[in-house]
């Protein structure tokens, strides 16, 4: 039977790919977004499909919907955007998550929370596995997001224990790909846009800090696998690509692939910027039979192609 699936934040980068894939798999999709960082253009190609609905709504306010499954992605993900209105960011992760859990409870829907590697903060365990509790600054400029997402995980677990809601938590590590917004501000889209425009590449710090980058198609597959896994497996589970790169290596790779004349320019490292990050994905491999397939260069080539086209039109 066709499932009705709510995707909050569905007009964003990850959400729009999830909408597309789940619609293609013959589900009925309700895409809900307040368009803070998302964009109607990301889902414009789905609007004519009778099994796709787009709702402008902010999850901080109540909404009543009848659905079978919920992917809760609503929340700005880029530091630039989540720090723009930090109080709103934490409201989205607490009041918003309570509202979305309310839908799950009333409609008896299964709910998957898009959590983040940021729950590990600036980690002193490397690579990060799910039993590590993290090293998060509770009062810093990233805490509206980090602590917000930690509170959201707490809410998922308490609604499960207290109300029997069928919850699942996926901790997403840095993911990139087509449909990241031009002004997103995260490292992959920043570097690609700068390289394509032959502008200086802005490396924060000395470029020795690391991230592990996952291509969007792999992530969407991981999120759906988690949603469809046995009810007894509710996570949290790490989803990400364990291949780790320094930010300088990323800059050099982007310059090489775009054949750009850009030069690297060093800027101060923002406060509380984690120095290293790499997922231990043993649990996802074991429980979901999932691991990423797309290597960095291949994913970057697709993403560069996307931005080349967008910049031509802009």
**Among all residues, which ones are annotated catalytic?**
145
Decide which of ligand NAD, ligand UDP, none touches 270; Cβ closer than 5 to 8 Å per partner kind.
ligand UDP
Other C-beta atoms lying within 10 Å of the C-beta of residue 306: 16
Rg of the Cα atoms in the chain: 19
- Judged by CB under 6 A, the residue of 203, 224, 255, 304 near ligand UDP is 203
For residue 165, how many C-alpha atoms fall within 13 Å in the half-sphere facing its CB?
A: 28
Binding residue (CB under 6 A) for ligand UDP from 39, 137, 202, 246: 202
DSSP state of 65: -
Instruction: From the list ligand UDP, ligand NAD, none, pick the one residue 279 interacts with, judged by a Cβ distance below 5 to 8 Å according to partner type.
Output: none
Verify binding: residue 235, ligand NAD, rule CB under 6 A. no
- Interface with ligand NAD includes 148 (CB under 6 A)? no
The three-class DSSP label of residue 290 is coil
Helices (H), 197-277: 216-228, 247-258
Q: Among the candidate windows 26-34, 86-94, 196-204, 306-314, which touches ligand UDP by CB under 6 A?
A: 196-204
Q: Measured from the CB atom, is 247 or 255 closer to ligand UDP?
A: 247
HSE-up of residue 176 (Cα within 13 Å, Cβ side): 30
- The single residue among 31, 46, 92, 165 that binds ligand NAD, judged by CB under 6 A, is 92
What are the beta bridge partners of residue 113? 72, 169
Other Cβ atoms less than 10 A from the Cβ of 66: the count is 12
Q: Which does 107 bind (CB under 5 to 8 A by kind): ligand NAD, ligand UDP, none?
A: none
- Positions in 59-88 near ligand NAD (CB under 6 A): 59-60, 73-77
* 211 binds, options ligand NAD, ligand UDP, none, Cβ within 5 to 8 A by partner type: ligand UDP
Binding characters for ligand UDP, 31-50, by CB under 6 A (x = yes): --------------------
Q: What minimum distance in Å lies between the beta carbon of 218 and ligand UDP?
A: 17
What Å distances lie between residue 248 and 123, 189, 195, 254, CA to CA? Answer: 20, 15, 14, 10
Task: Please name which of 63, 17, 38 lies closest in space to residue 214, comparing C-alpha atoms.
Answer: 17
Q: Establish if 28 lies at the interface with ligand NAD (CB under 6 A).
A: no
- Positive or negative, the CA dihedral 136, 153, 226, 130 is positive
Q: Which one of residues 19, 209, 223, 258 is an interface residue with ligand UDP (CB under 6 A)? A: 209
Sequence-distant (6+) residues with CB within 8 A of 70 are 5, 6, 7, 8, 100, 103, 104, 109, 110, 111, 112
Can you tell me whether residue 143 is helix, strand or coil? helix
Q: Which residues bind ligand NAD (CB under 6 A)?
A: 8-9, 11-15, 33-38, 58-60, 73-77, 92, 96, 114, 116, 172, 174-175
Q: Which residues bind ligand UDP (CB under 6 A)?
A: 78-79, 174, 186-187, 190, 202-204, 209, 211, 247, 269-270, 273
């Amino acid at each position: 039977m066709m499932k009705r699936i709510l995707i909050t934040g569905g007009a964003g980068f990850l959400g729009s790919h999830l909408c597309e894939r789940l619609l293609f798999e013959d589900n009925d999709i309700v895409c809900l977004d307040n368009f803070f960082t998302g964009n109607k253009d990301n889902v414009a190609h789905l609007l004519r499909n009778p099994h796709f609905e787009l709702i402008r709504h902010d999850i901080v306010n109540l909404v009543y919907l009848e659905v079978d499954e919920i992917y809760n992605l609503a929340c700005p993900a880029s530091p630039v955007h989540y720090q723009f209105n930090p109080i709103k960011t934490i409201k989205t992760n607490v009041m918003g998550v309570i509202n979305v859990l309310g839908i799950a409870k009333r409609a008896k829907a299964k709910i998957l929370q898009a959590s983040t590697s940021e729950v590990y903060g600036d980690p002193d365990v490397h690579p990060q596995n799910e039993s590590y509790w993290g090293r998060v600054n509770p009062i810093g400029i990233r805490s509206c997001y980090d602590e917000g997402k930690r509170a959201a995980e707490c809410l998922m677990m308490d609604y499960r224990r207290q109300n029997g809601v069928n919850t699942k938590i996926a901790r997403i590590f840095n993911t990139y790909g087509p449909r990241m917004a031009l002004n997103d501000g995260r490292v992959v889209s920043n570097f690609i846009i700068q390289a394509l425009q032959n502008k200086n590449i802005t490396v924060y710090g000395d470029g020795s800090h690391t991230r592990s980058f996952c291509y969007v198609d792999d992530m969407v597959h991981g999120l759906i696998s988690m949603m469809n896994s046995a009810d007894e497996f509710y996570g949290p589970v790490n989803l990400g690509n364990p291949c780790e790169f320094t930010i300088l290596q990323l800059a050099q790779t982007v310059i090489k692939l775009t054949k750009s004349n850009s030069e690297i320019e060093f800027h101060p490292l923002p406060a509380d910027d984690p120095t290293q990050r790499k997922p231990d994905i043993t649990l996802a491999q074991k429980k979901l039979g999932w691991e990423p397939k797309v290597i960095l260069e291949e994913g970057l080539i697709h993403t560069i192609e996307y931005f080349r086209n967008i910049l031509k039109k802009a």
